[in-house]
Amino acid sequence: MSQDTHTSNPIGLVEKMVILLGGIIAPIFVIYTVTKSPEAPAPKPAAVDRAEVVKNIAPLAQVEMASASDASNVEKSGEEVVNLACAACHASGMMGAPKLGDAGAWSARIAQGYETLTKHAIEGIRSMPARGGNSSLTDSEMAKAVAYMANQAGADFKAPD
């Protein structure tokens, strides 16, 4: 009897790596070569409808700037002026401003009279800037604001119409 000893050479780690990389790289190379060949047909651009493109890139909103002359000149009430400009200091008493509704702080000022208070509000006095820091306010609006604030503290001033 003959003893056939069949011996096989085991595949080494390096050989396994070469086979694995070859199995991955070779198909990638073939695919790349075929797709980049000069004989491969160039893809045709899709037909584009101009109206569809314009619709897709249209803005969501439009912003329009109005000029100052377009604004209607609606005069603000005394309360609106107080909330817009005066309350910044008079609501908290900032820099010694008499607080809204504080009869004690307003009594000496109310005693000076409506015209004097209005003049001070328009021109400014001590730490208070002219027109409460809002130069767009009219004399009439300032007069209404003075009457509104003083009346909150117990005065009986009549604001202009």
Share of the chain above pLDDT 90, in %: 22
The amino acid at 70 = D
> What pLDDT does 143 receive?
92
Instruction: Tell me the mean pLDDT in the region 136-145.
Output: 91
How many Cα atoms within 13 Å fall on the side-chain side of residue 5?
2
Res 6 pLDDT > 70: no
In the chain, % of residues over pLDDT 70: 88
- pLDDT classification of 123: cutoffs 50, 70, 90: very high
Q: Tell me, what DSSP letter sits at residue 86? A: I
Residue 106's contacts (CB-CB under 8 Å, 6 or more residues apart) are: 98, 149, 150, 153, 154, 155
- Please report the pLDDT score of residue 160 as a whole number: 83
d(CA 161, CA 158): 9
- For residue 128, the cross-strand partners are 125
pLDDT digits (tens, 9 = 90+) for 39-70: 766 777 778 888 888 888 888 777 777 766 65
User: Residue 100 contacts by C-beta under 8 Å, 6 or more apart in sequence?
Assistant: 82, 87, 90, 91, 149, 152, 153
In sequence order, what are the beta bridge partners of 125? 128
Average pLDDT over residues 139-144: 92
The answer to pTM > 0.85 is no
pLDDT at 24: 92
pLDDT of residue 112: 92
pLDDT digits (tens, 9 = 90+) for 74-111: 889 989 999 988 888 888 888 888 998 989 999 999 89
Check if the beta carbon of residue 120 is closer than 8 Å to that of residue 128. yes
